[in-house]
Structure 1
């Protein structure tokens, strides 16, 4: 199964939902608008994981397929429409979310996350969905249809473990943004990257403070303990003022630094799409042309991670790791943006759920 195919000047990059190892041989098959295979099949292979690079052979190629052999009929449902980007209209900053699954309510996390990152300069969000409650989906569909700020992509059920789902989503999202955006944030829906200078946005930092040699920025985690589930439904404005994670939860670990690998403690990254070949969950897997990461000091910027301590027995499993980041202290969300964030969240919820 193909997730997407994205054309650049010299190649078509294809994201493939296939249980195949890196180096597995495949063939690129090229089809024109009439459905005719109009170019000779090209031998290629899986690399990086979930990705196949095919040469761009003709402007007439309308669909592409990836097959194990170089011959045989390819039904249209196994062909992928080739997406072409206008490289002159790149977005400055986008966001790729980890796949959504599980039955716990997510609508309040989703709206707060989207509106937080819009204030930071993000203009497009990509959500990969395996399982979602219809009530939560209403919110994302509103952003997609009414505001054109969200794109929704289904994660196929071929993968059942969360890590494979996430790596597939990351691979596809990187290809989607490689030519259409300069920078992309990779994070979960309960994480809020933020600068400590309350009047500086993430986009301003990326555009004004980084040298050419840097291909990504690593943000350290600060876990903020969340002891209750989010509400199941939107009731009224007072409820939101009391229940928004950025307003309700404050008990915070020290920054997650100095772990055994010397790089991060489950930190997350913002990458320059043209300077990265492969993105993983917490790190860049491979850079283009020798670019390197910028490890951001936590006193400049960090992640406010509103972690449900009861979900999946998280505290029970991670208590020892968290105690390494004591002393815990109460911290608050950016006071300069807090009122604007609340106002924007309430406006969206009014638009989506006011008729319920």
Structure 2
């Protein structure tokens, strides 16, 4: 199509503060722009007298140009904002002067409940923050700040400080309870009002009815054993048990393992919480901070939350309750706030595979197929694990609540209903006494998981793993065709083919 260049120096100003916005082609109104046969452009300049000409490509056409059809007279109200605008949602327009349970916290502090004085942090090391109807809770990774007086520092959506601080204390360990402030979107903690606080963290809302019924927290992932198969086994197992969301605490995994985790994030199954701060700590030393954050992160997010490790499976043994959620549905006693499960250990005498190779290899390596040598049942006091009502718990330890706001601290679940199947690796990478603790529960007997679980879990693991790692390949010619579209570069397989052909010709 024949085209021509037209020299345009038409400026009809629409002025906003010090900015001048003009139309090309000497047009004055949006209606004129909509009906223009050629594409119209804006000139955005400072409000000065200098007028810079521009060249605009115009095409011979008798119809209205499609670029000009979708103009509006007025900005949408939700975008009628400036760089200083902060909308305040109705749920976030609340101010409180106190926090609940202050007197009980003081009593527990005087009793030293939960005091650890662990590690050597010189600041609080914020991890997360959650707003509930009557308070904000900030979780920390520091574990040596017990009962220290602190100030809650609030920030709006632009991270501008709201000058309305609140005095509090660190209790339980690694936790600060704060009052609410209208418009607060971020929060930090400081020891004085004069000091510059740590980097603020976003406040996550927990002000509506819990969106989940049963969630699971996985203890911090670390160490050199490959984990992709254990991770997918863990998540798919508990999904079959009725869990609908997972909080996965991460110190380190391989890049290969991380691809799996990221895919679960993509599909909305999990949230990854990275365990890291400014201070020294060995990888296995994150457990207390992880448990504490899990507790508060799940308040008003789920009715029930299981607090367990990657190698632990809560297994229902009763014909009446095939899954965990069926069992939870049967509980109507409001004072049951912590379900305490005994443990049976399984000898795991080798590492999990580093990568997926094929379906046969994967099925053979699934931990419930490969490891079935089950110990006798331990006591309620020998490394039990629990399912809790988060909002009713005052403070947690690794294996059980320390105190509760309401309800009985321990509700002991009979082994005829359920136990924890704990796959214990015999290499003892960290804890030297772990193997002996398991072996005193001999004799061991071969005990596979239930047939229905075996079939469903095998299929679920295969499906997820193959979706992520079984990449669909294409031919070398197709690769070369695609590479050529990027500046004429060549696919490595194509280059190799050309080299091989040259050798054959010689």
The Cα of 1:310 is off from its aligned counterpart by 2.0
The Cα of 1:72 is off from its aligned counterpart by 3.9
The Cα of 1:43 is off from its aligned counterpart by 1.3
2:294 maps to 1:178: no
2:271 maps to 1:151: yes
TM-score by length of 1: 0.92
1:204 maps to 326
2:345 maps to 1:223: yes
Instruction: Identify which of 177, 192, 196 aligns with 1:53.
Output: 177
1:269 maps to 386
The Cα of 1:306 is off from its aligned counterpart by 1.1
2:436 maps to 1:327: no
Secondary structure in structure 2 of the residue aligned to 1:99: strand
* Partner Cα distance (2:165, 2:284) in 1: 32
Residue-by-residue CA offset, 1:208-246 (whole Å, 9 max, x unaligned): 135211111011110000111111110111112211011
The Cα of 1:37 is off from its aligned counterpart by 2.3
* Partner Cα distance (2:335, 2:407) in 1: 8
Indicate how the Cα distance of structure 1 residues 319 and 136 shifts in structure 2: closer, same or farther if over 3 A, else same: closer
Secondary structure in structure 2 of the residue aligned to 1:138: helix
Instruction: Identify which of 375, 381, 402 aligns with 1:285.
Output: 402
**Structure 2 unaligned regions, length at least 5:** 1-124, 473-506
Indicate how the Cα distance of structure 1 residues 161 and 285 shifts in structure 2: closer, same or farther if over 3 A, else same: farther
* Partner Cα distance (1:197, 1:116) in 2: 17
TM-score by length of 2: 0.65
Residue-by-residue CA offset, 1:18-71 (whole Å, 9 max, x unaligned): 24331011110111223332242211111111100001132x111111011123
The Cα of 1:319 is off from its aligned counterpart by 4.6
Contact 1:23-1:45 at 8 Å conserved across structures: yes
2:189 maps to 1:66: yes
Instruction: Identify which of 438, 443, 455 aligns with 1:339.
Output: 455
Q: CA RMSD in A?
A: 1.9
2:427 maps to 1:310: yes
1:213 maps to 335
State how 1:22-61 maps to structure 2 within 5 Å: 22-58=146-182, 60-61=183-184
State how 1:37-186 maps to structure 2 within 5 Å: 37-58=161-182, 60-74=183-197, 78-145=199-266, 147-157=267-277, 158-161=279-282, 164-186=285-307
1:260 maps to none
Contact 2:246-2:269 at 8 Å conserved across structures: yes
* Partner Cα distance (1:137, 1:163) in 2: 19
My pick for the range that moved more, 326-335 or 176-185, is 326-335
My pick for the range that moved more, 13-22 or 305-314, is 305-314
Instruction: Identify which of 354, 369, 373 aligns with 1:232.
Output: 354
Secondary structure in structure 1 of the residue aligned to 2:298: helix
Contact 1:29-1:37 at 8 Å conserved across structures: yes
The Cα of 1:83 is off from its aligned counterpart by 0.9
2:313 maps to 1:192: yes
Contact 2:140-2:174 at 8 Å conserved across structures: yes
Runs of 4+ residues deviating >6 angstroms: none
Contact 1:92-1:182 at 8 Å conserved across structures: yes
The Cα of 1:162 is off from its aligned counterpart by 5.2
**Structure 1 unaligned regions, length at least 5:** 258-262
* Partner Cα distance (1:274, 1:230) in 2: 36
How many residues in Structure 1 have an aligned counterpart in Structure 2? Answer: 346
Instruction: Identify which of 350, 366, 378 aligns with 1:256.
Output: 378
Contact 1:275-1:291 at 8 Å conserved across structures: no
Indicate how the Cα distance of structure 1 residues 215 and 163 shifts in structure 2: closer, same or farther if over 3 A, else same: farther
Contact 1:93-1:121 at 8 Å conserved across structures: yes
The Cα of 1:17 is off from its aligned counterpart by 2.2
* Partner Cα distance (2:280, 2:335) in 1: 36
* Partner Cα distance (2:435, 2:234) in 1: 26
2:138 maps to 1:17: no
The Cα of 1:12 is off from its aligned counterpart by 0.5
* Partner Cα distance (1:311, 1:20) in 2: 28
